[in-house]
């Protein structure tokens, strides 16, 4: 079992040369807030969120447009990140699991440099910026050499269209390859108390000082987590977020929601301190 300390402070984290608070906001679901979506984004910033993550496929660009509507001119201390590399609206039905929700990895990837250039330009327009602070390759494309996809982002950075480069849905080999080409500011992989398939990628991020952005961070359907939540008068989702914050100083959870009340609950997880025993109990879930 790896060891984490209950005394780990939520504090802040660096992404490239930027420092942000350690609980971000994932904007995949903002469209579900309807007309209140810009208010939801503004409320996140009012609560102290300094990192907002989106992607061109979220609502086929609608998420980026909502963020711009809510925040332009952007506060100096808020970092907006987006992603490109999936083809929106086209689901790879061969990868659909009956009864499971459709998620980004079910979309066909497109890591061709010309495609990444096109979607990056579209994100710049929707976000109403000249430079994207953090642009992430949404997934490796098995039909395109990974170094070509990363190299395309390097070219876009040299042109001033983005400042920092991140990668998503990668393994250790992908990350090692990317690091031979350029500094990597972030890795965004699925990770939560019961899904530790990216454990070794997280460890590599710790070794290189890379921010790790766990997507799907609050999967917490577990009796052990429920028991801790009940005792601490918290929600299971808050316990999951508190555990992630304690798990690694390079962890930057990005829970998303379409509800202001749920957003406020998520941010309140920063104030939840788990005991060493509680942290160990949640950690053990990933080892079963």
| 92 has a pLDDT exceeding 60 | no
Question: Which pLDDT score, from 0 to 100, does residue 222 have?
Answer: 81
Q: Looking at per-residue confidence, does 161 or 92 come out higher?
A: 161
High-pLDDT (> 70) share of the chain, %: 88
Handedness of CA 28, 34, 39, 43 (dihedral sign): negative
| 19 has a pLDDT exceeding 90 | yes
Is residue 56 within 8 Å of residue 81, measured between CB atoms? Answer: no
Q: Which residue has the tokens 């962890």?
A: 251
| 5 has a pLDDT exceeding 80 | no
Is residue 27 within 8 Å of residue 54, measured between CB atoms? Answer: yes
Is residue 246 within 8 Å of residue 274, measured between CB atoms? Answer: yes
Is 58 assigned a catalytic role?
yes
Pick the CATH number of 12-285 from 3.60.70.12, 3.20.20.140, 3.20.20.100, 3.40.50.300: 3.20.20.100
Cα distances (angstroms) measured from residue 204 to each of 33, 171, 186, 250, 253: 36, 10, 11, 10, 17
Is residue 16 within 8 Å of residue 43, measured between CB atoms? Answer: no
Which listed residue (58, 74, 135, 191) is catalytic?
58
| 8 has a pLDDT exceeding 80 | no
Q: Give dist(CA 163, CA 183) in Å, integer.
A: 11
| 103 has a pLDDT exceeding 60 | no
| 10 has a pLDDT exceeding 70 | no
Ordered by start, the domain boundaries in the chain are 12-285
The mean pLDDT of 24-33, rounded to a whole number, is 95
| 20 has a pLDDT exceeding 80 | yes
The mean pLDDT of 222-236, rounded to a whole number, is 91
Question: Which pLDDT score, from 0 to 100, does residue 11 have?
Answer: 84
| 193 has a pLDDT exceeding 50 | yes
As beta bridge partners, residue 156 has: none
> Residue 43, SS3?
helix
The mean pLDDT of 198-204, rounded to a whole number, is 96
The mean pLDDT of 251-268, rounded to a whole number, is 96
CA 255-21-174 angle, to 5 degrees, is 65
Who's near 99: CB < 8 A, 6+ residues apart?
none
> Residue 219, SS3?
coil
Give the side-chain half-sphere CA count within 13 A for 239: 27
Is residue 174 within 8 Å of residue 143, measured between CB atoms? Answer: no
Question: Which pLDDT score, from 0 to 100, does residue 216 have?
Answer: 86
Question: Which pLDDT score, from 0 to 100, does residue 21 have?
Answer: 96
The mean pLDDT of 221-246, rounded to a whole number, is 92
Q: Give dist(CA 255, CA 103) in Å, integer.
A: 15
Q: Looking at per-residue confidence, does 91 or 52 come out higher?
A: 52
| 118 has a pLDDT exceeding 70 | yes
Query: How confident is the prediction for the chain on average, in pLDDT?
Result: 90
- The length of the chain in residues reads 288
| 119 has a pLDDT exceeding 60 | yes
Q: Which tens digit of pLDDT belongs to each residue from 272-284?
A: 999 999 999 998 8
| 285 has a pLDDT exceeding 60 | yes
| 6 has a pLDDT exceeding 50 | no
């Amino acid at each position: 079992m790896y060891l984490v300390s209950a005394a780990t402070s939520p504090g802040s984290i660096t992404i490239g040369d930027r420092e942000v608070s350690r609980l971000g906001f994932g904007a995949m679901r903002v469209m579900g807030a309807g007309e209140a979506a810009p208010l939801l984004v503004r409320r996140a910033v009012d609560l102290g969120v300094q990192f907002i993550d989106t992607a061109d496929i979220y609502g086929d660009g609608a998420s980026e447009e909502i963020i711009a509507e809510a925040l332009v001119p952007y506060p100096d201390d808020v970092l907006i990140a987006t992603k490109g590399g999936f083809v929106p609206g086209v689901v790879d039905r061969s990868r659909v699991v009956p009864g499971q929700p459709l998620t980004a990895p079910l979309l066909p990837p497109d890591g061709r440099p010309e495609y990444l250039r096109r979607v990056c330009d579209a994100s710049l327009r929707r976000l109403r910026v000249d430079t994207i602070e953090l642009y992430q390759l949404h997934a490796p494309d098995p039909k395109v050499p990974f170094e070509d996809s990363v190299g395309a982002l390097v070219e876009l950075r040299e042109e001033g269209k983005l400042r920092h480069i991140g990668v998503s849905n990668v393994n250790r080999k992908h990350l090692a390859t990317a690091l031979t080409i350029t500094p990597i500011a972030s890795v965004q992989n699925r990770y939560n108390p019961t899904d530790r398939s990216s454990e070794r990628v997280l460890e590599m991020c710790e070794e290189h000082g890379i921010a790790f952005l766990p997507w799907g961070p609050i999967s917490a359907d577990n009796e052990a987590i429920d028991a801790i939540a009940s005792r601490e008068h918290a929600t299971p989702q808050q316990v999951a977020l508190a555990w992630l914050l304690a798990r690694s100083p390079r962890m930057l959870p990005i829970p998303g929601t379409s509800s202001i009340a749920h957003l406020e609950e998520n941010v309140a997880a920063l104030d939840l301190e788990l005991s060493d025993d509680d942290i160990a109990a949640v950690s053990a879930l990933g080892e079963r």
